[in-house]
């Protein structure tokens, strides 16, 4: 891309949802702005305003009339950022007043946790808390110089920049962070891809106290069920299957112990679904256009690695901006995905083979160190020789167990 007439270099980031600036694309955008780049983000979709029960963890109930904000808005009912603190209380972003509010489990306002005192619209759109030391992290790309164009449709890209709504934005780089069906990928002629697997997912939250602080995976012949604690009185149940017709209720019924536990609670969200792909692109950049996140390829959701991969890619891309070397990002992108792709292949090789599933789980349960070595595939720079050694060790134990 060319340098604009004002002498500033712009990174044009094409996103698909209002929250993306505090996520995958935002990581690259903020890092680029730290490096002296002026960053513009155009969102193809409007703002996301889900219903109350999906915004606040169940049974946390608030009402619009409970608004304590002097400058308008209803932070409790239309929260951009919500996180549960280790003691079970809830922090809620109040973007209209540059602060984070504190509520108890019943929805009563306890006070203001802190204010961001942001300038130029530096509002706390996203928040998260470290459960170990209670460190609170606030996502606000605007305070780092990122310019947002809300409800702006990106109509196309060229060698000089991006057509965003009625405006043409000159840019040195264009980053497609617009998901698995990326239009940026198509416009840049980077859509030559290999799809090796396609599976179908269902998920639903249940209002029930978790019985474990660990994620559980239940294996059946052609599907898996995942149970994840997400709050003091809420769990997420998800299912992945090669069949689009398989329903989550029927899947749970094949695990009587799990079904009995869930019968003591009730669904707290509607049933939702998505398709997960394993895709690999021949290239993730062309000229000054590059891709990040699912737009640049994906691994099966069985790895649980989608967001982690995307953030690592975004950091690598920011490094490439610093050195003006997208070829380096191409190489780093392959390195980042290598371990998770291997893990996905190994896990999916068990799909449809109950005997092999039982054998593998039995061997790994008796060899925690071997399991840890295999999990090292998820590290940013996995040692290939160690992974191969762990794979051979697993194979030998499967034969001799």
195-222 pLDDT, tens digit per residue, is: 778 899 999 999 999 999 888 989 888 8
The confidence score (pLDDT) of residue 91 equals 86
Closest CA to 392 of 374, 372, 368: 374
Q: How many helices (H) and strands (E) does the chain have?
A: 10, 21
Q: What is the mean pLDDT of residues 318-322?
A: 89
Per-residue pLDDT, 117: 63
Name residues whose C-beta falls within 8 Å of residue 54's C-beta, 6 or more positions apart in sequence: 269
Q: What is the CB-side half-sphere exposure of residue 317 using CA atoms within 13 A?
A: 31
Check: CB of residue 305 under 8 Å from CB of residue 189: no
pLDDT exceeds cutoff 70 at 325: yes
Least confident interval from 46-55, 131-140, 326-335: 46-55
Residues of the chain with CATH 3.30.9.100: 196-276
Q: What is the mean pLDDT of the chain?
A: 74
What kind of fold does domain 10-47+150-192+282-338 have according to CATH?
FAD/NAD(P)-binding domain (3.50.50)
Secondary structure (3-state) at 235: strand
pLDDT at 157: 87
Residue ranges of the chain assigned to CATH 3.50.50.60: 10-47+150-192+282-338
pLDDT score of 23 more than 60: no
The percent of residues above 70 in pLDDT, for the chain, comes to 71
Task: Count CA within 13 A, CB hemisphere, residue 273.
Answer: 13
More confident residue, 353 or 275: 275
The partner residues of 224 in beta bridges, in order of sequence, read: 219, 240
Contact 190, 277 (CB under 8 A): no
So what's the pLDDT on residue 128? 78
Inter-residue contact 154 to 164 (CB < 8 Å): yes
CA–CA dist 64, 74 (Å, integer): 6
The yes-or-no verdict on residue 333 having pLDDT over 70 is: yes
Query: pLDDT higher for 340 or 137?
Result: 340
pLDDT score of 47: 25
- How far apart, in whole angstroms, are the C-alpha atoms of residue 73 and residue 81? 14
In CATH, the architecture of 196-276 is 2-Layer Sandwich (3.30)
pLDDT at position 36 over 60:
no
pLDDT (mean) for 266-290: 90
- How large is the average pLDDT for residues 348-358? 80
pLDDT in tens, 56-67: 222 333 333 344
Q: At 14, which helix (H) or strand (E)?
A: strand 10-15
The answer to whether 146 and 138 are in contact (CB under 8 A) is no
pLDDT reported for residue 120: 47
Return the pLDDT at 200.
92
**Biggest alpha carbon–alpha carbon distance for the chain:** 69
Say whether pTM exceeds 0.85. no
Number of Cβ within 10 Å of residue 194's Cβ equals 10
Backbone phi, then psi, for 114, in 5-degree steps?
-170, 165
In whole angstroms, what is the distance from residue 207 CA to residue 88 CA? 15
Residue 233 pLDDT exceeds 70? yes
What does the pLDDT read at residue 372?
A: 79
112, 102 in Cβ contact below 8 A? yes
Mean pLDDT computed over 245-273: 92
Quick one: pLDDT at residue 24? 46
For residue 328, pLDDT beyond 50: yes
Q: What is the pLDDT of residue 3?
A: 24
pLDDT tens, position by position, 58-92: 233 333 334 444 444 455 545 567 888 888 888 88
Q: Which of 116-130, 144-158, 283-297 has the lowest mean pLDDT?
A: 116-130
> Percentage of residues in the chain with pLDDT exceeding 90?
21
Instruction: Indicate the DSSP class of residue 176.
Output: E
State residue 54's pLDDT score: 25
Does position 318 have pLDDT exceeding 70, yes or no? yes
Question: Tens of pLDDT along 379-397?
Answer: 656 666 666 677 777 777 7
């Amino acid at each position: 891309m060319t340098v604009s007439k004002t002498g500033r270099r712009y990174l044009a980031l094409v996103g698909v949802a209002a929250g993306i600036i505090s996520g995958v694309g935002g990581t690259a955008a903020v890092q680029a702005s730290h490096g002296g780049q002026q960053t513009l983000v155009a969102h193809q979709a409007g703002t996301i305003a889900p219903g109350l029960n999906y915004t606040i963890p169940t049974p946390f109930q608030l009402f619009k009339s409970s608004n304590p904000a002097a400058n308008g808005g209803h932070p409790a009912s239309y929260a951009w950022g919500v996180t549960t603190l280790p003691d079970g209380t809830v922090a809620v972003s109040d973007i209209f007043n540059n602060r984070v509010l504190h509520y108890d489990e019943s929805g009563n306002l306890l006070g203001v946790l802190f204010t961001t005192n942001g300038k130029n619209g530096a509002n706390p759109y996203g928040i998260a808390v470290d459960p170990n030391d209670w460190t609170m992290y606030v996502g606000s790309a605007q305070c780092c110089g990122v310019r947002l164009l809300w409800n702006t449709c990106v109509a196309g890209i060229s060698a000089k920049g991006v057509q965003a709504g009625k405006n043409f934005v000159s840019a040195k780089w264009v980053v497609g962070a617009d998901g698995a069906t990326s239009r940026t990928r198509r416009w840049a002629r980077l859509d030559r891809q290999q799809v090796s697997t396609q599976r179908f997912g269902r998920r639903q939250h249940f209002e029930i106290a978790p019985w474990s602080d660990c994620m559980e995976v239940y294996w059946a012949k052609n599907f898996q069920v995942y149970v994840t604690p997400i709050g003091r009185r809420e769990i997420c149940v998800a299912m992945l299957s090669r069949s689009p017709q398989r329903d989550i209720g029927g899947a749970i019924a094949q695990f009587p112990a799990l079904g009995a536990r869930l019968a003591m609670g009730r669904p707290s969200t509607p049933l939702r679904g998505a398709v997960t792909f394993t895709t690999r692109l021949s290239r993730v950049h062309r000229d000054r256009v590059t891709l990040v996140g699912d737009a640049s390829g994906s691994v099966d959701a069985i790895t649980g690695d989608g967001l982690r991969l995307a953030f690592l890619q975004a950091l690598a891309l920011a490094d490439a901006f610093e050195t003006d070397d997208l070829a380096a990002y191409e190489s780093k992108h392959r390195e980042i995905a290598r371990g998770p792709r291997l893990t996905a292949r190994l896990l999916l090789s068990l799909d449809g083979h109950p005997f092999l599933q039982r054998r593998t789980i039995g061997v790994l349960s008796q060899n925690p160190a071997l399991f840890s070595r295999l999990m090292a595939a998820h590290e940013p720079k996995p040692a290939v020789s160690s992974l191969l050694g762990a794979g051979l060790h697993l194979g030998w134990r499967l034969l001799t167990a």
